[in-house]
Amino acid sequence: MLEYSEQNRQWMQMALDLAEKGRGTTAPNPLVGALVVKNGQVIGKGYHERAGQPHAEVFALEEAGEEAYGADLYVTLEPCCHYGRTPPCTERILEAGILRVFVALTDPNPKVAGGGIAALRAAGVLVEVGLRGDQARRQNDVFLTNIGKQRPFVLWKNAATLDGRTAAKNGHSQWITGPEARAEVHRLRSQLDAIVVGSGTIIADDPLLTARPLAAGMTQPLRVLLDRQGRIASDAAVLQDASSPVLWFTEQEGMETSGLGRHVEVVHANPGTMQPLWVLAYLYAAGVTSILLEGGPTLVNAFWRDRLIDKIQWYVAPKLLGDDGRGALGALHCENMAEAAALFDVHCRPVGGDWVFGGYTPWNAGLITGNEGQ
């Protein structure tokens, strides 16, 4: 295996940075960036911008033009080798006369799964796999979850005080964090396919569940309401606002739905079946690849119990509410610290006057690190 130089690493980092430009617009496709390098100079770059449009390699090779002959290609995900909505990227790479390809991550899609690398090597192209692979896996955690678990990726977002309280005793929670943190959450909403909340959140806060302001080229998320007993009133703001579709899940028959616009679809589940995994399966079949879980402790506990939360993003404000404040989670029944769920790949950073902590849940270690079964 090639021992990568610092320059190799820098060029793959540039490709990863390019891939990041597609966040929020490529679903159900992965994030991919590509760089064409020749004689120590970048001569072409590209990223996958939107599903159905050319892949990153095509944009990079088009920019490089005839100079791509004999050059190196850095790509964050294995080039595809099958016909889908676009032709195989492997054919385009071979036509361009690329000499060597650096691949960060093998594509887990069964339609590729090493086939693109094999096709390039069979044609005489030198292929090196694994450069900055850990970063590539984390960048495409949504895609890896979709392929590996056949369900949407679930990110739980929470805002709490320094002592872990999400609301005052009377339920008042606006605002725990400052404007910078709240703006970041709105950007996060626009990057994921759907927002999921329970009826308690709608009744307590009457939120719109939209991304505000919405950046150019982005779309509003699908808004998903889990309301088993049909408690949400038909005049709730989220039901009256038509800026994006709403899926209203319930087990209650005969709910009042008069006056609702065409943007609202009521999904009736059989009594006792509206469990988190059933909801995720429904959403995945509808094309949802990622969700932002913004519910209260009852809903979050249900997802946590079934190990359906993949990552946590927790905003912490330097405020205290004390024991009479409301917590983010119900009982996890941990009798000692050895039973506590320890996140991994944890990071933290300041956001205005607050802090944000993020990390993957322990049951996702194998998927994110690529060491399943080890």
- How open is the CA angle 146-238-206, to the nearest 5 degrees? 110
Distance (Å, whole) CA 201 – CA 206: 7
Q: What is the dihedral of CA 273, 308, 194, 53, to 10 degrees?
A: -120
Distance (Å, whole) CA 140 – CA 321: 37
265 touches 248 (CB < 8 A) = yes
57 is catalytic: yes
Write out 277-301 in H/E/C secondary structure: HHHHHHHHHCCCCEEEECCCHHHHH
Question: Of 3, 6, 20, 57, which one is the catalytic site residue?
Answer: 57
Residues assigned a catalytic role: 57
